[in-house]
Structure formats: C-alpha cells, structure tokens
Amino acid sequence: MTLDETLDAVAAELAKARRVLVITGAGLSADSGLPTYRGLGGLYNGETAEGVPIEAALSGQMLRQRPALCWKYMRQIGDACRGAGPNPGHHALARLQDRFEHLSVLTQNVDGFHSQAGSRDVIEIHGNLSRLVCTHCPWQGAAKGVRDRVPHCPSCGQVVRPTVVLFGEMLPDAAVLRLHQALDAGFDAVISVGTTSVFPYIAGPVHAAFAAGHLTVEVNPGETQVSPIVRWRLRCGAAQALTGLAERLGVGAEVHRSD
C-alpha cells in the first residue's frame, strides 16, 4: 500500500474510536527542529566530548557529582527548544482531540509544545524544561533567561535543576498516577508517534491495546520495539502522518470565525 492508502485505512478505523491515547517521542519534536538524541539522526549516538555516554552525562548522579557537565548538556537541549515551537503535527493533534470523546497525550518530550499547541490532556512523563527547582529547598522559578554555567538558588545558594527526569531517576509520582488513571479508564485506539518505545511504560500501552484487539498504529520511519505488533505502520515523519490523519478526519485546518 502507498502512504496515502495506509493513511486512508488508518483514518477509517480511527473514525470509529471513542477514547484515543497518543504516545509521542522526540520524532515529533524533530519536525520543530529539535534533535532526536536516539534513532535516525540522533545527535548523541556515542560518547560526549568528555568521553562519557550521553545517558551518563544527563543522569541524576552526574548532576550531583559534576553539575557543570550535566548542565552543559541540559543547556544544549534547552537551547534547542528556545526559539522553536509547536509544528503542524502538534497542532493537528490538538485539533484531533475534539474529534473524539477523549484524547490523551502521553509524551516523553520535555519541550512543552503539546500544551502550547492547545492539547488539554497531556501527561509529561519526563517533566518539562521550562521550570527550575532547587535541589535543597522549596524554591521554584522559570528557566527562561537563566544563563549561568551552573545556576544556583537565589534563596539558599544550592544548585538548581529543570523539572525533568534525568537518567537513573524515578518518574514523577503525579505523572505516573495520571497515566495509571488514564489507562484504567481505557482506550480503544493507541497511536505511537516518533518514539523508539524502549521504556516499558511507553511500549506497555501499545502491547495492552494489541492484546485487547484494539487499534494500534505506529508512526516512525524506522524499526522500534513495537513495530512487530502494531496493526498499522506509517513509515513517515510525525507531522506528515498527524496532519494527514487530521485532514481525513475532517479537522485538517484551523477554523477562524469573525462575529
């Protein structure tokens, strides 16, 4: 089947769904110009300039032991996000939420683009770069404008950090609770977009939907952990797939009204 034919078939099945879960990864934000870090075109397929894997550089342990090194690579991610914004895929996904009884977004991305585009039910399972918290006291503040090599708390002087999950750290309790509540409510369609699905909590909902006989779709040009089990594969970019589905489901363009 051609891509257009596959999009037609997916849209026809998706039109029957009531509750939809869309799982997004770096492949979606790549269409905004952000790096994927893993997979096709990833920036850090190997070691950093300091000779350590990027997973070690962006770890909770590195933040404690060598905060300057950890902040160097956190800042690279932040700099990539700064000046970028939601792309047509994010906006298409926001429009699609009004096509169903309920649409939830489970994202690994920390750029905040889903909410900026208008998606209402967004579970940021890895946190958000836009806020900083102190590692020792209750201080919180905005990340915008912070340029120090290692930012320190204006209240107690200790190192601050973004509200993101670093490697080796636990997922935030509030986000995990929201995910469990969403999964308990049930979905009859699960769409995986731009993620390699290496984490169990990302691949798990796809496996559960497949086992239950529900619609499963993957949007990814490459092979992933869930590729063998999904009903439909869209081997294209995330924005291309989401805008194509939105058009076929009748929400393909912004509607502007003047009173």
Sheet containing 232-234: order of strands: 122-124, 102-107, 19-24, 189-193, 215-219, 232-234
Burial label for 23, CB within 10 Å (0-12, 13-18, 19+), is buried
Token pair 């869930």: residue: 226
Q: Count Cα neighbours of 109 within 13 Å in the Cβ-side half-sphere.
A: 31
Axis crossing angle, helix 200-211 with helix 173-185, rounded to the nearest 10: 10
DSSP 129: E
DSSP 223: -
123 and 23 Cβ atoms separated by less than 8 Å: no
Nearest to 173 by CA among 141, 127, 208: 127
- H-helix segments, 15-165: 26-30, 54-57, 60-65, 67-81, 88-96, 113-117
For residues 44 and 55, give the distance between their C-alpha atoms in angstroms, rounded to a whole number: 9
3-state secondary structure of 153: coil
Candidate list 90, 91, 114, 126, residue with the active-site label: 126
Nearest to 85 by CA among 109, 55, 60: 109
102 is catalytic: no
Catalytic residue numbers, as ranges: 126
